[in-house]
Amino acid sequence: MSLRLYLAGPDVFRPDAAERGAALKALCASLGVEGLYPLDGTTTDIRGRCIAMIHEADAIIADISPFRGVHMDPGTAFEIGYGEALGKPFFLWSQEGRTLTERVPADERGRDAQGHLVEDFGKPENLMIVPDGQRVWSSPAEAIAEAVEALSFTSKNRQLQRQTRAAVLVAIGVSLIVALSAGMVVDWLVGW
């Protein structure tokens, strides 16, 4: 079964959204996985379609590049959170490598023009999106490749666990048959 990656991001708003989706799906296909793009399908219930695809996916690839401001697309943030709530791993990428404090002008107290504190955790996005230990790749190709590597390892590990369980069950079965056979031979010998 092929791995399926949900391709989240603001690309759906681009004038060339369909072509961009095709390019992202081709990146996935080149690595032997299936890309699920939010514009795939025919239903007019876009939200429902995206949620269904997140359920189908093994992981989420998310573009967290700034969109219409200094922060990422809010729809993509929702998709990451929804996927995380389902236990789906996510792999992030951004065209913007600078941290929030490098992008958002702040005074000497770390406050922006409205007086709000600018988050200073050395991350390109809010820490709820980029938790500690989460890497942000600079391109979709890198994020997809990392997802394929990580998920392939997990998939191979699960397969090895299934094979080990099956081998243990066979060994238990053979042991029982040998023990029962030995008991029957002893009973036969004693009764002779």
With beta carbons less than 8 A apart as the criterion, state whether 89 and 150 touch: yes
Report how far residue 26's alpha carbon sits from residue 134's, in angstroms, rounded to the nearest whole number. Answer: 25
Q: Where are the domains of the chain?
A: 4-161
Q: pTM above 0.75?
A: yes
With beta carbons less than 8 A apart as the criterion, state whether 50 and 80 touch: no
pLDDT at residue 167 in the model? 65
Question: Taking every pair of C-alpha atoms in the chain, what is the biggest distance, in angstroms?
Answer: 100
Average pLDDT per block of 10 residues along the chain, 192 residues long: 91 95 97 95 90 97 96 97 97 95 93 94 94 96 96 62 67 79 79 70
pLDDT at residue 177 in the model? 84
**Which CATH number is 4-161's, of 1.10.3720.10, 3.40.50.450, 1.10.357.10, 3.40.190.10?**
3.40.50.450
pLDDT at residue 154 in the model? 53
